[in-house]
Amino acid sequence: MVILRDGMCPGLDEELLRELRAADIKTEDLVSSDTEELAQKCSVSYKALFAIRRVLLAQHTAFPVSGADLYEELLSSTAILSTGNPSLDKLLDSGLYTGEITELSGGPGSGKSQVCFGVAVHISYHLKHSVMYIDTMGGISAGRLLQMLRAESSNTEEQMQALQRIHIVHVFDIFSLLECLHGLRCGGLQQASVGGGSVKAVIVDSVSAIISPILGGKQNEGMSLMIQVAGVLKTIAKDFNVAALVTNHVTGGGSGEVQAGLGLSWSYIPRTRVLLERVERPGSLHCSLRTATLIKSSRQPCHVKEEFDLQWWSRSEEGSSGKRKLGASDSC
């Protein structure tokens, strides 16, 4: 509810505000009050109050929009960003959608960060767009990004240009994360776009590493701060037409199944959720194969699985034009 203030609209000055407050009208209740009765009570012109009411309604009322208009807006504003991995793209119905939050969840070593690295490199190098990478665990490595880029191109200049389009921010507490997100919303994304492609992806790796410690116990503000983070992320994704990609940990459910962390309230935030798990092969200590299971989606059937290789983003261009084929002699 918006509080009435001086200069809020033409004709709403300090003197009129005093009269309205005397009549116990301090908020937008003005628009629902009987205008004629209020004019008599406040000794104010009926026409003046009626004009102010019309302006307030125009400024703060949600007007209906047709489904056709919404669909046209969707077509004009939504882009689909390939992750660079055919199996993940298939699972995600072609890739990451701008205007939405996509979540990767999984246990330690499931490959969440490696997928984020690969997505950032692909968007930067192949799609020529900038990426804002918010690292909350200190896990991102410029050397690893460069290694992936060297697998894409042997041209040093192209590698450096792609690296310059990946903007990395380190934050290690919830307040720093909120400050960073608000900064992006208030001009940071435009600044990051200067000198390179426009920012089309914001990656937070990991959102749970910052939010989990403040949930539960005596820290009553934890839930509120989590919803604030979610709200700003959604606003950035929608208003700036960027794809938001976040990572989350997993917990054990009541019946023993693995489920994404941060509880029920957070589960409504991402539009799409993907669970990453290791593929265990007999006799193999280090397997780069992972399964991705779609556990929430508004476009695809849930519980669909795809297997992919984390080394896909580090493959050599020579002899790797399609999916990685596993032969009988392949060891993970």
pLDDT tens per residue, range 87-106 = 999 999 999 999 999 999 99
pLDDT at 325: 32
| Residue 2 near residue 27 (C-beta atoms within 8 A) | yes
| Residue 172 reports pLDDT greater than 90 | yes
Report the greatest alpha carbon distance in the chain: 91
- pTM of the model as a whole: 0.75
Q: Buried b / exposed e across 177-215, counting CB within 10 Å, b at 16+?
A: bbebbeebeeebbeebbeebbbbbbbbbbbbbbbbbebb
Per-residue pLDDT tens over the stretch 123-154: 999 999 999 999 999 988 888 899 999 989 89
- Alpha carbon 116 to its chain centroid, in Å, reads 13
- Secondary structure (DSSP) of 259-317: EESSHHHHHTS-SEEEEEEEPP-TT-SS--EEEEEEEE-SSS-TT-EEEEEGGGGG--S
Any bridge partners for residue 208, and if so which?
none
pLDDT band at 233 (very low <50, low <70, confident <90, very high): very high
Region 11-39: what's the mean pLDDT?
79
- Secondary structure (DSSP) of 79-103: -EE--S-HHHHHHTTTSEETTSEEE
- Alpha carbon 160 to its chain centroid, in Å, reads 26
Per-residue pLDDT tens over the stretch 41-91: 888 888 888 888 888 777 777 777 888 887 787 777 789 999 999 999 999
| Residue 324 reports pLDDT greater than 50 | no
- Identify the burial level of 161 via C-beta atoms within 10 angstroms of its C-beta, where 0-12 means exposed, 13-18 middle and 19 or more buried: middle
Backbone angles phi, psi at 88, to 5 degrees: -65, -40
Give dist(CA 193, CA 178) in Å, integer. Answer: 21
| Residue 225 near residue 265 (C-beta atoms within 8 A) | no
Any bridge partners for residue 318, and if so which?
none
| Residue 209 reports pLDDT greater than 90 | yes
